[in-house]
Structure 1
Amino acid sequence: MNTPYRLGADHLLLAIRLTPNGGRYLLDGAETAADGQVHLKARVTAVPEKGKANKALIALVSKTLRCPKSAIAVISGDTSRQKILRIDGDPEDLAERLEALLAR
């Protein structure tokens, strides 16, 4: 099975499809797009203006994966629904936490 993340030497890259104004804060499993790319679905209540939705997404991922917000950065898709997050830390440990989340 494809995964929505790739491991780096000291980080993990996570593909996300964000739904701003989503009514709640939730990481909602993975989905495969028409192009075959796998994304983790995320919903936040914040509106997509002035980076509010991105900040809410970083807070949600930080809380869910139990890592500091300062370790997470949006490296692609700043104004798009499709985003790539770079999460600094032990990639194996982060991948385990994501696998546990995806297994739910």
Structure 2
Amino acid sequence: MTDLSHLSAPGTEIAVRVTPKASRNRVTFEDGQIRVYVTTVPEGGKATAAVVKLLAKAVGVPKSRLDLVRGQTARDKVFRVSG
């Protein structure tokens, strides 16, 4: 998994591109963009919940410290690390 611990400072905004229904869960850094692949389907917020779990692990913070700023139903999402 990609180490994103340098993004764990409070107030940091993390822009990600989400790919639901992927073959496996993973976080990568491709073409200057963080990409999160999740196996869950994008219905009822399940994919977003899976993204939060994976991203929190990659950044090294608890899930409760990641707040979704933009992109509730979009593939491009922005999360903020709370203090």
Scaled to the shorter chain, the TM-score interval is 0.7 to 0.9
**Letter of the 1:85 counterpart:** F
Q: 1:43 aligns with which of 37, 40, 61?
A: 37
- Root mean square deviation of aligned Cα: 1.8
TM-score (norm 1): 0.66
TM-score (norm 2): 0.81
Greater RCO structure (CA 8 Å; 6+ sep): 2
Q: Structure 2, unaligned stretches of length 5 or more?
A: 1-6
Equivalences, count: 76
Report the secondary structure of 2:53's partner residue. Answer: helix
Report the secondary structure of 1:70's partner residue. Answer: helix
Greater helix share, 1 or 2? 1
State the identity as a percent.
36
Runs of 4+ in 1 over 4 A off after TM superposition: none
What is aligned with 1:100? none
Q: Which of the two has higher C-alpha Rg?
A: 1
**Letter of the 1:78 counterpart:** Q
